[in-house]
Chain A
Amino acid sequence: MRPTLSTTTLRRLQLPFTLRRNASTTASNPSIYDVVIVGGGPAGLSLASVLRSSAWTKPLKIALIEGMDLTPAREWKPTPDNFSNRVSSLTPGSVAFLQSTGAWDLVKQERVQSYKGMEVWDGVSGSAISFNTALGSTSDIAYMCENNNLTSGLLSHIESLGGIEIRDKTRVESITNGTDDGTLDLTSWPVVTLSSGEKMAARLLVGADGANSPVRTFAEIETRGWDYGRHGVVATLKLEGTGEGEKTAYQRFLPTGPIAMLPMPGPYATLVWSTTPQHAAALKALAPEDFVAAVNAGFRLSHVDVEYIVSNVTKGVVDEFAWREQNTAVDEKRVPAKAVSVQEKSVANFPLKMRHADSYIAERVALIGDAAHSVHPLAGQGLNQGIGDVRSLAKTVEYAVQHGQDIGAVLSLEPYFEEQYFKNHVLIGVVDKLHKLYGTTSAPVVAVRSLGLDAVNALDGLKKFIMDRAASR
């Protein structure tokens, strides 16, 4: 029996959301759905699109609920010199899956940037590791894709397939268990009441509703983890040069967190700088030209200089950087081209968290994406984990349909949990440890980790192994 949520819990969640259990009266009978997906982000849309593209799961009655207006994503008409600051790194495995469903064809390919090389180095010792696909593999390490681009492609795909009932600009008001009317016993079915007044009874309710998942709260699934005390600062930058030819991703581990420059088409790149909340606020407050100089400092100056500039210089970072740069030796092959400008309004920051739900499933409930897990962005795995969840859950639902199982029963959902939980657990753990390992200037730790990086750099076999993991091959 799930207890009623206390008001303090609700306040803490800060969601316009109420939970009522076994409501004794229902205004109207709910409509029956096989799958109700809460959340119209990349994970929820991918699930809807893959369930509609399989012959077995196509007959399922599916609804998708999204609080925001999806019209801008549907009518997305970007200009070639403007890129969103919300960009995800997709592994070849994720892209292959999206290709298999047909959704990838509807993503604007001219706005997707692949890269074949990766430069990673220790900001304290300078130890470096280069990855490139000359190590026996011809394919790309990853693909940088704006979330808008993916969302818009998925929406077009869903619309071309038809049959998914999308309710956008619609909030979930409450989730309760259904009732027994003497003929039909829906007491094990979640009934979702929407802000429109519509009620949906779900054979399977999928929480694709993000880190504060109301579906997870309804299912009383605990989530564990911690805040890193770090913020991710993102921005769209224009770099020196034309940006033609092979692209490389750059990541430098600074004691405050990694700074990464990820290639976008042409001379553009996207920045992900994980740092303290104070630094993040300071960076955000800088004038555009000073912000650009601070980013260049982040990749090129000593970690002590970076710390000094970001902590103390609020104006004139351009001059500060120019002066200090003269006294710093930089291997141009190992660092990204200098940023020359930052796209207007593209600087944003968000807190970094590690979270993992105790379970991804409950009776008639499955969680996917951020509702199940949040990971440090340093390995660019967040969305890939979500797509992994979608692939696994869709496969599990398909198997259940083939074998006449009730797709909402815990027994039918178990293979999904078993397949994804451990995989995600390992990845979350590795990324978490990497963050901690590099979050220090302690000399012995730096010596050992640098030795580690140098050794890894010398061993092509191990590097290939790491790259294959990074690319989910």
Chain B
Amino acid sequence: MSLHTLRPAVRQLRTLRAVRAHSTHGSSASFDPLEVSHFNALASEWWDPHGSSRLLHLMNPLRLQFLSSCLSKHGDATKNMKYLDVGCGGGILAESLARLKGTESVIGVDPTPEVLKIARGHMRQDPALQRRLRYVGATIDTLEKVLAEEGGRELKEGWEGERTMFDVVTTMEVVEHVPHPTRFLKECMQHVRPGGWVVGSTIARTWTSYLTTKLVAEDILGIVPKGTHDWNKYVNANELDSFFRGQDGWGGKHGEDIVFLGCAYIPGLGWKMVPGGEKVGNYFFGIRRNSE
């Protein structure tokens, strides 16, 4: 079963809007009022363990497992880590990253104000997150501008030219929604320090994913608004692989630091890593910037 079959409509709308924001550079005011009211109705469920985001919550530990497997590949230090989570939504991943033992700071970025309100409200429920986690209303393109406006360049020591640098940039369930995945990923990669990682997840463009996310979820069950997914935008692991291999200074000498791993939700068992599953449905990807 694919995540997209059951993924919450909230996130669909959020990422959809993120896509628009990406493509129009922040002209996010032109939201469909119908979508906004739909979203408002669902937003309160983001952190409801039995709400529409349940599957995403259940998937979260696997994201951290994958991340930790990437970091341990080179025995990379996991102390004083700085993370950037692009498309953070309600903060499911961002909060977890901020709670990890070796984390110094996490910045969650999302262009949708309603979603960030949920994220910021939920963050206040955990004293451990204060001073470690911060949400910024921006896209990856506008991040620097917004950080400068907010006067929040506390990560100054990590600066490289014009960009704030991070140890890891994460982007979960986003690339399949952006109009130019490779351009989007390149933007993410420009925020990674040498020896750091981009880690994300997405879904393969296969007959299985077409059936589950387009035909069943949108056309038959209607649990996802029609047109939310553009199946043609789904990204296959081999496509990402060839893109990653073309990036100078990334992925090791022979692509050994480019990682893919499939995962699937199995009813009764929960989310499981499925090696080879990247060819079928949901999968994680990771690429390391070579150390200098």
Chain A contacts to B: CB under 8 angstroms: 32, 59, 180, 183-189, 203, 399, 402-406, 409-411, 414
Residues in A whose Cβ lies below 8 Å from that of B65: 403
Contact B130 A411 (CB under 8 A): no
Residues in A whose Cβ lies below 8 Å from that of B57: 411
Contact B64 A406 (CB under 8 A): no
Contact A403 B96 (CB under 8 A): yes
Known A404-B95, A411-B57, A411-B58; contact A188-B125, beta-carbon cutoff 8 A: yes
| Least CB distance, A182 to chain B, in whole angstroms | 9
Q: Kindly state whether residue B150 has any CB partner on chain A within 8 Å.
A: no
Residues in B whose Cβ lies below 8 Å from that of A409: 49
Knowing that A185-B125, A187-B125, A404-B97 touch, tell me 18 more A-B residue pairs with CB under 8 angstroms.
A32-B127, A183-B124, A184-B124, A184-B130, A185-B121, A186-B125, A188-B125, A203-B126, A402-B64, A403-B60, A403-B61, A404-B95, A405-B60, A406-B95, A406-B99, A406-B126, A411-B54, A411-B57
Residues in A whose Cβ lies below 8 Å from that of B121: 185
Residues in B whose Cβ lies below 8 Å from that of A184: 124-125, 127, 130
Residues in B whose Cβ lies below 8 Å from that of A405: 60-61, 96, 99
| Least CB distance, A275 to chain B, in whole angstroms | 44
Residues in A whose Cβ lies below 8 Å from that of B99: 404-406
Residues in B whose Cβ lies below 8 Å from that of A180: 124
**What does the 1/0 interface line of B85-129 toward A look like (CB < 8 Å)?**
000000000011111110000000000000000000100111100
Residues in A whose Cβ lies below 8 Å from that of B58: 411
Residues in A whose Cβ lies below 8 Å from that of B54: 411
Chain B contacts to A: CB under 8 angstroms: 49, 54, 57-58, 60-61, 64-65, 95-101, 121, 124-127, 130
Nearest B residue (CB) for A182: B124
Measured in the bound complex, the distance between the Cα atoms of B60 and A411 in whole Å is 11
Residues in A whose Cβ lies below 8 Å from that of B96: 403-405
Measured in the bound complex, the distance between the Cα atoms of B129 and A409 in whole Å is 15
Q: Can you list 16 pairs linking A and B with CB atoms under 8 Å apart?
A: A180-B124, A184-B125, A185-B121, A185-B124, A186-B125, A403-B65, A403-B96, A404-B97, A404-B98, A405-B60, A405-B61, A405-B96, A405-B99, A406-B95, A409-B49, A414-B49
Contact B64 A403 (CB under 8 A): yes
Residues in B whose Cβ lies below 8 Å from that of A403: 60-61, 64-65, 96
Residues in B whose Cβ lies below 8 Å from that of A402: 64
Which of A59, A189, A403 counts the most chain B CB atoms within 10 A?
A403
Residues in B whose Cβ lies below 8 Å from that of A188: 125
Nearest B residue (CB) for A183: B124
Residues in A whose Cβ lies below 8 Å from that of B100: 404
Measured in the bound complex, the distance between the Cα atoms of B129 and A203 in whole Å is 13
Residues in B whose Cβ lies below 8 Å from that of A187: 125
Measured in the bound complex, the distance between the Cα atoms of B60 and A183 in whole Å is 26
Residues in B whose Cβ lies below 8 Å from that of A404: 64, 95-100
Measured in the bound complex, the distance between the Cα atoms of B81 and A404 in whole Å is 14
Residues in A whose Cβ lies below 8 Å from that of B61: 399, 403, 405
Residues in B whose Cβ lies below 8 Å from that of A189: 125
Residues in A whose Cβ lies below 8 Å from that of B97: 404
Nearest B residue (CB) for A181: B124
Measured in the bound complex, the distance between the Cα atoms of B126 and A404 in whole Å is 12
Nearest B residue (CB) for A32: B127
Nearest A residue (CB) for B96: A404
Residues in A whose Cβ lies below 8 Å from that of B95: 404, 406
Measured in the bound complex, the distance between the Cα atoms of B130 and A24 in whole Å is 24
Measured in the bound complex, the distance between the Cα atoms of B47 and A187 in whole Å is 15
Measured in the bound complex, the distance between the Cα atoms of B64 and A399 in whole Å is 11
Nearest A residue (CB) for B100: A404
Residues in A whose Cβ lies below 8 Å from that of B124: 180, 183-185
Measured in the bound complex, the distance between the Cα atoms of B124 and A187 in whole Å is 10
Nearest B residue (CB) for A185: B124
Residues in A whose Cβ lies below 8 Å from that of B60: 403, 405
| Least CB distance, B123 to chain A, in whole angstroms | 9
List of 9 A-B pairs having minimum Cβ-Cβ separation, nearest first: A404-B96, A403-B61, A404-B99, A185-B124, A411-B49, A403-B64, A410-B49, A404-B100, A185-B125
Residues in A whose Cβ lies below 8 Å from that of B126: 203, 406
Measured in the bound complex, the distance between the Cα atoms of B130 and A379 in whole Å is 49
| Least CB distance, A362 to chain B, in whole angstroms | 11
Nearest A residue (CB) for B101: A59
Nearest B residue (CB) for A408: B126
Residues in B whose Cβ lies below 8 Å from that of A411: 49, 54, 57-58
Residues in B whose Cβ lies below 8 Å from that of A185: 121, 124-125
Measured in the bound complex, the distance between the Cα atoms of B125 and A184 in whole Å is 6
| Least CB distance, B131 to chain A, in whole angstroms | 11
| Least CB distance, B172 to chain A, in whole angstroms | 14
Nearest A residue (CB) for B129: A406
| Least CB distance, A425 to chain B, in whole angstroms | 18
| Least CB distance, A348 to chain B, in whole angstroms | 44
Measured in the bound complex, the distance between the Cα atoms of B95 and A186 in whole Å is 16
